[in-house]
Amino acid sequence: MSDLDLQLEGYIKKLKNGDSTAFDMIYECTYRKVFFLVLPILKDRALAEDIMQDTYLKFLEKLYDYKAKNSLAYLLTIAKNLAINEYNKRKREVKDIDLDSSAFAYDAYLEFSAQNEELIRSALSVLSQVEKNVFLLHNLENLTHREIALILEKPLGTITWTYQQAVKKMRKHLEG
């Protein structure tokens, strides 16, 4: 069990005992992971934020039924199921929606400092979309490789290898 899971388990226990500030801590530790899981499914920032709120409401609703020991995976499963349900609802309304998250471009939803944007975009231009997503989620959003693996639904080893390849490609591009 990771440090984050242990931390979340402690907050969940406090929340179950009536400490409402524990929810704020759970949210603070997990909201970016939830957001970056649902965003490529829905491809809409506002809708992803709505589903993120629904995720935490559902989590609170099911709080006393929760018995598992992997709270992050539990929360991400709720988020993913809600996002897929919303996706399926919209798919019936709008044809040709793509559920493949590996082609999703996270860089369109992230903010770069103005002074570094040109350099960053140049370095990122040599990466595949998956490499770019892994690199950005790790470096700009401070997600661990394990968390990225959960979000992108890829093995941890694949994420680690992809990140290393991205760094090598960018370094070679910037040195050249």
Domain boundaries, the chain: 3-93, 101-175
Q: Would you mind telling me the total number of residues written for the chain in this entry?
A: 176
* Residue 83 confidence (pLDDT): 92
For residue 27 the two structure tokens come to: 């949210």
Long-range contacts of residues 20-24, Cβ cutoff 8 Å, at least 24 apart? 23/56, 23/60
Please report where in the chains the tokens 């595949």 appear, as a residue. Answer: 128
18-39 burial, b at 16+ Cβ within 10 Å, e below that, comes to eeeebbebbeebbbbbbbbbbb
Which CATH fold would you assign to the domain 101-175? Arc Repressor Mutant, subunit A (1.10.10)
Q: Which of 125, 117, 49, 116 is nearest to 82 (CA)?
A: 49
60-86 burial, b at 16+ Cβ within 10 Å, e below that, comes to eeeeeeeeeeebbebbbebbbebbbeb
Query: How high is the mean pLDDT of the chain?
Result: 84
Using 50, 70 and 90 to split pLDDT, how confident is the model at 54? very high
Q: Which of the pair, 117 or 71, is modelled with greater confidence?
A: 71
Check: CB of residue 41 under 8 Å from CB of residue 84: yes
Q: Which of 2-11, 13-22, 29-38, 56-65 has the lowest mean pLDDT?
A: 2-11
> Is pLDDT of 34 > 80?
yes
Residue 149 amino acid letter: A
**Which element (helix H / strand E) includes 173?**
helix 156-175
Q: Which of 67-71, 99-103, 141-145 has the lowest mean pLDDT?
A: 99-103
CATH architecture of 3-93: Orthogonal Bundle (1.10)
* Residue 72 confidence (pLDDT): 87
Q: Which of the pair, 56 or 99, is modelled with greater confidence?
A: 56
* Residue 103 confidence (pLDDT): 57
* Residue 68 confidence (pLDDT): 66
Check: CB of residue 149 under 8 Å from CB of residue 122: no
> Is pLDDT of 59 > 90?
yes
Residue 140 amino acid letter: L
Q: Which of 74, 53, 77 is nearest to 63 (CA)?
A: 74
